[in-house]
């Protein structure tokens, strides 16, 4: 092979490799999980995150996967309560009563068509995307409250971790974000996804909110609920918020979204709760944050030879944020009973839409991809399309002028700079440097070729 050919190929291969690496949009700390969400992988040397394991992927299965079909809800199967649970997580504790189904408002909140249970579209609208596995979903306008399209909007399903939106509303309006909270063993022992809070660790409420919203940490939810008076009082406050907002299909049973007796929400209600939360600037900021540093915790004196656990990076588990142009952010959820749940927002051409998914699956595409399809559908509808309306009650702070996904204003009224991910500067520098490197190598190859002739 000629020297020139070697130089050209080396330059092209190296430049392509460097550029491809720079274009990788998802930070290395976001580890996709098999349930369609993602887990936050601590930095090397950081404590493992219990409950966030990803099973190994096996080879091709010998069984035949049945064809996918979107569940039919035309006959209103979940009009009064969610589907039957698949485990015992919703069995009341001994001595506690079984919660009765929530009353069904009549007429339906949001307008007459919000009482329909099948697919509800504006007159003349095209068919919805075919790859939606969510049993219930809705697309609405974040600013005007117009409902653009829906399927079983008031059908009742379990929220999983999307109910953390309600906990965030309560906490962000109640707690001192600079107050330092000491982690407990009870925080570390909670079930489900944990960010990695350890006993004796020192965490500000702001850091706990980062863990709650970005990583869906149930340990963070436990620590936040403890400051609100414990799980029962925190849940009561979350339910009070839902009632105030006329989200009357919603009943929280746990602060974290783990299944519990009577747990319920709807695609309509989840849109209402998310819209309210988006009136809080810090909520919008944290939804849009890709990664931040999270504190470690000291050695446990009860464990021989235990050492201090250093801090580590935590990453946003919402893949829509990394992969959808204009994504504002969102919240993921999963339990065995709820299946996949999701709420997110995006902006395009000055319009901001919210999409909610309940009882979805990872087939035929992942929940964030289903949300992307529905957002594309909503953005393509006529600007005056409408099948219903979100309630006007509750906070009136959601205005088109509110800066979303950005830090709250400083005391002097100026806007703080958004917290940039650690990898963003390196990515930009690499994108600029890679083409220059290719040019330099090509020039070197040309000179080498001339000397070799």
Q: By three-state DSSP, how is residue 313 classified?
A: strand
The tokens for 76 are: 């209103």
SS3 of residue 108 by DSSP: coil
Say if residue 364 is preceded by a cis peptide, omega within 30 of 0.
yes
Write the CA distances from 82 to 106, 154, 260, 294, 351, integer angstroms. Answer: 19, 11, 12, 36, 32
Angle ∠(157,158,159) on CA atoms, nearest 5? 115
Residues 220, 330: Cα–Cα separation, whole Å: 17
Q: Which residues pair with 147 in a beta bridge?
A: 140, 388
DSSP label of 149: E
- Report the SS3 class of residue 63: coil
Query: Among 17, 23, 261, 270, which Cα is nearest to 138's?
Result: 270
Q: In whole angstroms, what is the distance from residue 144 CA to residue 150 CA?
A: 16
Cα–chain center distance at 350:
22
Going 148 to 152 to 155 to 158, the CA torsion angle's sign is negative
**Per-residue DSSP letter, 409:** B
* H or E element that contains 439: helix 422-452
Q: Which of 209, 208, 277 has its CA nearest to residue 238?
A: 277
User: Looking at the annotation, which residues are catalytic?
Assistant: 161, 164, 216
Q: What is the C-alpha separation between 13 and 5, in angstroms, rounded?
A: 12
Going through 336-398 in order, the beta strands assigned E by DSSP cover: 339-348, 351-360, 388-389
Q: Give the rounded distance of the alpha carbon of 53 from its chain centre.
A: 18
């Amino acid at each position: 092979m000629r020297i020139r050919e070697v130089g050209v190929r080396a330059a092209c291969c190296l430049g392509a490799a460097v550029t491809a690496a720079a274009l990788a949009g998802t930070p290395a700390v976001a580890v996709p999980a098999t349930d369609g969400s993602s887990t936050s992988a601590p930095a090397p040397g950081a404590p493992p995150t219990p409950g966030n394991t990803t099973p190994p992927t096996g080879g091709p299965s010998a069984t035949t996967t049945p064809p996918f079909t979107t569940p039919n809800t035309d006959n209103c199967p979940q009009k009064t309560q969610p589907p039957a649970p698949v485990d015992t997580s919703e069995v009341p504790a001994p001595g506690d009563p079984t919660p009765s189904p929530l009353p069904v408002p009549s007429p339906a909140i949001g307008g007459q068509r919000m009482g329909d249970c099948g697919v509800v579209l504006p007159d003349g609208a095209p068919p919805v995307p075919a790859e939606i596995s969510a049993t219930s979903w809705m697309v609405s306008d974040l600013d005007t409250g117009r409902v653009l399209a829906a399927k079983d909007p008031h059908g009742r399903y379990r929220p999983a971790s999307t109910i953390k939106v309600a906990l965030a509303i309560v906490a962000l309006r109640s707690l001192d974000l600079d107050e330092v909270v000491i982690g407990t063993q009870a925080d570390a022992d909670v079930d489900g996804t944990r960010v990695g809070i350890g006993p004796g660790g020192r965490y500000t409420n702001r850091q706990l909110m980062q863990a709650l919203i970005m990583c869906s940490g149930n340990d963070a939810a436990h620590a936040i609920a403890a400051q609100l008076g414990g799980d029962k009082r925190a849940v009561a406050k979350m339910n009070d918020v839902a009632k105030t907002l006329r989200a009357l299909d919603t009943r929280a049973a746990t602060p974290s979204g783990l299944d519990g007796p009577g747990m319920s929400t709807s695609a309509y209600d989840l849109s209402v709760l998310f819209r309210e939360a988006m009136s809080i600037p810090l909520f919008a900021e944290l939804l849009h944050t890709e990664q931040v540093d999270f504190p470690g915790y000291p050695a446990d004196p009860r464990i021989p030879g235990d050492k201090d656990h250093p801090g580590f990076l935590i990453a946003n588990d919402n893949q829509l944020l990394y992969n959808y142009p204009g994504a504002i952010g969102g919240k993921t959820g999963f339990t065995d009973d709820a299946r996949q749940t999701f709420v997110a927002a995006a902006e395009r051409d000055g319009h901001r839409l919210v999409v909610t998914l309940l009882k979805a699956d990872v087939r035929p595409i992942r929940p964030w991809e289903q949300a992307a399809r529905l957002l594309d559908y909503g953005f393509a509808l006529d600007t005056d399309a409408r099948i219903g309306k979100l309630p006007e009650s509750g906070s009136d702070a959601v205005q088109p002028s509110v800066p979303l996904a950005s830090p709250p204003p400083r005391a002097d009224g100026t806007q703080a700079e958004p917290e940039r991910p650690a990898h963003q500067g390196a990515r930009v520098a690499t994108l600029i440097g890679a083409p220059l490197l290719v040019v330099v190598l090509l020039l070197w190859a040309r000179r080498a070729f001339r000397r070799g002739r």
